[in-house]
Amino acid sequence: MEWIEDITDDEFQSKVIERSRDVPVVVDFWAEWCGPCRVLGPTLEKLAREYEGKFILAKLDVDRNPRHAQAFGVRGIPAVIAFRAGQMAAEFSGALPETSVRQFIDSICPSEADELFESAETLPADRVAEREAAYRKALELDPTHQGAQLGLAELLVGRGETAEAEPLVANLVPGGPFAERIDKVASKLKIQESAPSESEKELRKKLEASEPRGPVLLELGKLLASKKRYPDALAALFEAAQSSPDLARGEAKELMVEIFHIIGARTPLADEYRSKLARLLY
């Protein structure tokens, strides 16, 4: 059966490590002479059939294939190690009862919320309503789901619905696989919330009569950034920084950094203004 497979040491990289990037792989380290292995093995196989592909059971005979048992520090059998995303995710040893084995499997298998999130992530960008519905359903099942919180926050910020997006963004944990997306949506939210109520025409008219110009340039930069006119926003913010050391070290610089997060920290536009800002400050 495709959900249960005997593997060798030579196949471990492809059938465990690489395959676990798509689906959890549970490796059963066993041997023919091991009595407890003959108790645990059927339990694992039963659950693999029951879960119908939510995880793959890979059985490794340690007598014939000792290399990876040694590499992963297996000192006694039966031993079970689960892999997700190419890494060890969990492990146990001994012939546990079925209820305990089931709990172990549940802990490493994608939840319904995970599956809804993954389905939303694979939908085309123009199917916004379906993506939003999937994110919201995932959050009904698991209100702390980081991926669903992030996905919904991105959609809300994109529509300018900052009030609902703010608590979602506040709950996101920096770093991890979503680090870049989290930085970007947090920066977009800050920029939208800082946008002035005055129009561009009003600000440019005020700029003509203002002295010093820095505070008005700062507000103009905020407005242009909220309209996703990032080159124009950076130009206005840098001019504001040039006009005032306080702005150069404070709000103008901070807003420029938020824009770098949005456009990509290593893009030519970000590199250009980062260099300009560094020369101005140092």
The reported pTM is: 0.73
Q: Structural domain boundaries of the chain?
A: 4-108, 112-194, 200-281
Domain pair 112-194 / 200-281, same fold: yes
* Domain made up of 200-281: CATH architecture: Alpha Horseshoe (1.25)
pLDDT in tens, 128-183: 999 999 999 999 999 999 999 999 999 999 999 999 999 999 999 988 889 999 99
pLDDT in tens, 187-243: 999 999 999 999 999 999 998 887 889 999 999 999 999 999 999 999 999 999 999
pLDDT in tens, 94-116: 999 999 999 999 999 988 999 99
pLDDT at 189: 97
Cα 255 to Cα 24, 135, 161, 252: the distances in Å are 41, 29, 20, 5
Region of 229 (left: φ > 0; alpha: ψ -120 to 50; beta: rest) is beta
pLDDT in tens, 14-69: 999 999 988 999 999 999 999 999 999 999 999 999 999 899 999 999 999 999 99
Angle at 73 between CA 67 and CA 76, to 5 degrees: 95
Task: Find residue 27's DSSP bridge partners.
Answer: 58, 81
Q: Domain 4-108 has what CATH class?
A: alpha beta
**Band of residue 1 on the pLDDT scale cut at 50, 70, 90:** low
CA distance 178 to 67: 34
Angle at 119 between CA 265 and CA 114, to 5 degrees: 85
**Looking at the chain, which runs of residues are DSSP E strands?**
4-7, 25-30, 56-61, 79-84, 87-93
Which of the residues are catalytic? 34, 37
For 112-194, CATH number? 1.25.40
When pLDDT is averaged across residues 246-270 and rounded to a whole number, the result is 94
pLDDT at residue 89 tops 80: yes
